[in-house]
Amino acid sequence: MSIAIVTGGASGIGRAVATCLVARGDTVVVTDINEEGAGKVADRLNSLGRGKAAAARLDVTDAAAVEELYRGVRAEHGALDLVFNNAGISIGGAAEELTLDHWDRAIDINLKGVVHGVHAAYPIMLEQRSGHIVNTASLAGLVPMPLGIPYTATKHAVVGLSLGLRAEAAGRGVKVSVVCPSFVDTPLLTNVNPDLPPTSMSGDAKDDIQKAAPRLYTAEKLARDIMRGVARNQALIVAPAHGRAAWRGMRLNPGAAVKVASLAVARLRSGG
């Protein structure tokens, strides 16, 4: 049985990962800035009759709160085995539409939220000489994703952070993986630029996204991919298959990958 923390656990990928963990008998702390949502998830997971779940409100932009919660879980349970730094938001819009507020929010949540989780979890795991940190990035951290470059930039940063930390942690008992999914059918697609100045992509962008990427993956399927990748200690967990194909294409021919992305932009702008 493992002791795990999942940030952004009230919905989407975080909820699906927490469900997989409890289903196999783990103890999971489901955290989210949406305390009520996290509580509902924990209550449902406790009805499975397998592992255990607790809920906690957590704003990942608050470094002190993140550290307090992570250390509290370790103190209560005697270990911290798995940390899923998963909380994030969706930022969309053409570069000329974006304000510094869009950039700051993306950096604060998508990048610094992960930094705060790593900063809190890594010393604990070094002391234990065991543990696995799993950071959620995106396929947008591996390939060009226009019309949302603050999101793309932060996800590239999370990939680099994770791979660099994995190299440092090698031989010290701590594992690090980064998750890079293609478009997943989660609330992020219907809540673009929350509480931010509107752009052409604000609000419910699911239909627009499906014009460029019609094959949306489910959070439940991705969670199973994540659990397999964690069990195998994969450095990069890229899913689904068409996401891996796009990543492979980027590595083989970056120029062609940018052209494909530009065609998707043209298709969106034309309404096709």
Half-sphere exposure at residue 215, Cβ-oriented, CA atoms within 13 angstroms: 7
Residue 170: C-alpha distances to residues 23, 173, 175 (Å): 29, 7, 7
Half-sphere exposure at residue 21, Cβ-oriented, CA atoms within 13 angstroms: 29
Options 70, 122, 151, 217, the catalytic residue: 151
Tokens found for residue 125: 């795991």
Tokens found for residue 239: 């899913």
Active-site residue flag, 217: no
Q: What are phi and psi of 6, to 5 degrees?
A: -125, 120
Residue labelled with tokens 């957590």: 58
CA 65 to the chain's CA centroid: 19
Nearest CA among 79, 60, 96, 58 for reference residue 200? 96
Nearest CA among 103, 71, 108 for reference residue 88? 108
Active site (catalytic) residues: 151
